[in-house]
Amino acid sequence: MVENKENLEIKEEVAEVATAAVSNDEFDWDALESEDEGFAGQRGGKDFEKMYDNTLNTVQEKEVLEGTVISMNKREVVVDIGYKSDGIVSLNEFRYNPDLKVGDSVEVYIESLEDKKGQMILSHKKARAMRSWDRVNAALDNDEIIKGYIKCRTKGGMIVDVFGIEAFLPGSQIDVKPIRDYDVYVGKTMEFKVVKINQEFRNVVVSHKALIEAELEQQKKEIISKLEKGQVLEGTVKNITSYGVFIDLGGVDGLIHITDLSWGRITHPNEIVELDQKLNVVILDFDDDKKRIALGLKQLTPHPWDNLDAELKVGDSVKGKVVVMADYGAFVEIAPGVEGLIHVSEMSWSQHLRSAQDFLKVGDEIEAQILTLDREERKMSLGIKQLRQDPWQDIDTRFGVGSKHTATVRNFTNFGVFVEIEEGVDGLIHISDLSWTKKIKHPSEFTSIGADIEVVVLDIDKENRRLSLGHKQLEENPWDVFETIFSVDSIHEGTVVELFDKGATIALPYGVEGFATPRHLVKEDGSQAALEEKLDFKVIEFSKSAKRIILSHSRVFEDEKKSVETAEKKAAAKQTKKAVKTVKDNLEKTTLGDISELAALKSQMEAEENKEK
């Protein structure tokens, strides 16, 4: 700059001399046109030329100099570097510095002293690049604030032009608050601090956030020092999560939990607030270090219970919407922030266990009756079954003893089946009342849950709200007929349907079953009856009262064998008697020898007869 100032002074002095020469009345115009002497010779022109040349800098191409901006237009910047002609620099090279103005000093790189048009071509960008690395390092060492031009986006941040070097600006270092749109920063010139340099790979990392953190830290300390519970502050919605909203209180962040956003239930905070929204919040609590600040929004409005209709009382019907479901019940919102609980037992007159989801779902608009109301505790219980008539009030007329109905199987126990004739009217079918003929070990062998079954009412227990039901009573007792069919000693074909240690279950005609012990399952060849084998069985015992039939397969062939043996014995005895009689009739006609032989024969026959007896 000093050299340029001296050059300007010399130029002014030369101009004054030239002006004086031009205004002199004795100026020899003929000499000016003379090729021999000329103006320089007439008025010391050579001296003037020499003096002018001394005012110019001695510059060379590929050199970096400092110049002064003397004019600007939309495309170019004219820079005076003290040479005989001014240089031109593209305005695009100064986009990192939108505040550039006439009179500013800039560094330029001489690309060409004179182009085809006689114009000197300069480059500010190359000048910056040649000295940029030293400047960047100096900025880091001196904690200097520098300007940079954000060129474009990149993965994880932005690319910034700093002294002609492409530096990396991480997304987290753009601002103290989260950035949702990086594109709005492209093309901007901002101030930065150099925070990291990798000398080996010549990588530079800059930060804009670092510039404002110091100021914010001071603001943060001032805000924290003045925090008090119950204090109302204005904040800006900084971030929205599923569990709450983070509010910027001017350098200090606080959290409004989702339950403190509204007196009514909401599923997500974005139903109440939106990003960058300004709102008033109240401080609910903070830790000792005041690093965690709990804020509230709903606390700035009156509690809905305080505005609840004073005339509302137990027994009144109210309308509302189901907002939360649980296994034990449903929460119904009858006004924003005013909820009542409908316990599952108040949803139906039915006594068997069921889930609340069987009756209601979130979003249902329902009508209910107020069962309890505690304004101080802000609690209310509701019921919906109370809006319908209790089915047990007229149970005797609608479901009298002997009446027949269709029921739905709801549950099993070892001793029977629980069924529902209609909602709120349950009954039990004892296992012994399921079938006249089948031996049922568990009700699941006979029916299934959810199936329909025909029943007849056997008894009514109004106090315990339970009916005794029967299924087999829908048919006549077949054992009256079985008594004549399955009489003792009668033989029937049967199938072994079940084998166990103590015997077997035998399926007989007409759907009836009998029982045979292992001893009575022995076949004629000595083997044991097999499962699913068909054999003849003899009834050896029949009990109508106990509904029991005792069978035997072995007795079938054993009794038959005995019958044959008895018949043979009877025939032999008859023949012996006849022979004896013949001997007696012929005694008188025999000789002594014959008598001896007959006596021997008689003795033999009597011995055999005695043996048979």
Amino acid at 399: F
Amino acid at 105: S
| Separation CA 125–CA 386 (nearest Å) | 86
Domain boundary, last residue among 212, 242, 266: 212
Query: Residue range 309-316: average pLDDT?
Result: 86
| Separation CA 444–CA 408 (nearest Å) | 14
| Separation CA 141–CA 480 (nearest Å) | 114
Same domain, 313 and 375: yes
Where residue 290 falls among pLDDT bands split at 50, 70, 90?
A: low
Q: Which residue has the tokens 């109440």?
A: 272
Res. 31: pLDDT tops 60: no
Q: Is residue 453 part of a domain?
A: yes
Asked if 340 and 382 touch (Cβ cutoff 8 Å), the reply is yes
Same domain, 577 and 548: no
Same domain, 428 and 450: yes
- In this prediction, residue 34 carries a pLDDT of 46
Q: Is residue 7 part of a domain?
A: no
Same domain, 243 and 296: yes
Residue among 445, 454, 450 nearest 414 (CA)? 445
Tell me the per-residue pLDDT of 201-249, one tens digit each, with 9 for 90 and over: 878 899 888 887 777 777 777 777 778 888 888 989 988 999 999 988 8
As a dihedral over the C-alpha atoms of residue 573, residue 576, residue 577, residue 580, rounded to 10 degrees, the angle is: -160
CB atoms within 10 A of CB 555: 20
Q: Is residue 431 part of a domain?
A: yes
- In this prediction, residue 14 carries a pLDDT of 42
- In this prediction, residue 295 carries a pLDDT of 92
CB atoms within 10 A of CB 542: 20
Where residue 394 falls among pLDDT bands split at 50, 70, 90?
A: confident
Same domain, 147 and 202: yes
Query: Residue range 541-551: average pLDDT?
Result: 83
Q: Could you tell me the CATH number of the domain that includes residue 515?
A: 2.40.50.140
Q: Is residue 359 part of a domain?
A: yes
| Separation CA 155–CA 139 (nearest Å) | 25
Torsion sign (Cα): 529, 533, 538, 543: positive
Buried b (16+ CB within 10 A) or exposed e, 320-354: bebbebeeebbbbbbbebbbbbbebbbbbbbeeee
Res. 594: pLDDT tops 80: no
Same domain, 284 and 232: yes
Query: Residue range 427-449: average pLDDT?
Result: 84
Q: Is residue 105 part of a domain?
A: no
Amino acid at 356: A
| Separation CA 102–CA 121 (nearest Å) | 19
Query: What is the residue range of 508's domain?
Result: 479-552
Residue 594, helix vs strand vs coil: helix
Can you give the pTM of this predicted structure? 0.42
CB atoms within 10 A of CB 69: 18
Q: What percent of the chain has pLDDT over 70?
A: 82
Q: Is residue 206 part of a domain?
A: yes
Same domain, 401 and 469: yes
- In this prediction, residue 28 carries a pLDDT of 52
| Separation CA 579–CA 602 (nearest Å) | 9
Res. 257: pLDDT tops 90: yes
* Count of domains for the chain: 6
Q: Is residue 235 part of a domain?
A: yes
Res. 26: pLDDT tops 60: no
Q: pLDDT higher for 332 or 423?
A: 332
Where residue 489 falls among pLDDT bands split at 50, 70, 90?
A: confident
Q: Is residue 162 part of a domain?
A: yes
Domain boundary, last residue among 300, 327, 362: 300
Residue 119, helix vs strand vs coil: coil
Domain boundary, last residue among 353, 385, 417: 385
Which tokens go with 561? 């064998």
Tell me the per-residue pLDDT of 33-77, one tens digit each, with 9 for 90 and over: 444 444 444 445 555 555 545 554 566 777 778 888 888 888 888
Q: pLDDT higher for 534 or 55?
A: 534
- In this prediction, residue 255 carries a pLDDT of 92
- In this prediction, residue 3 carries a pLDDT of 42
- Main-chain dihedrals φ then ψ at residue 567, nearest 5 degrees: -65, -40
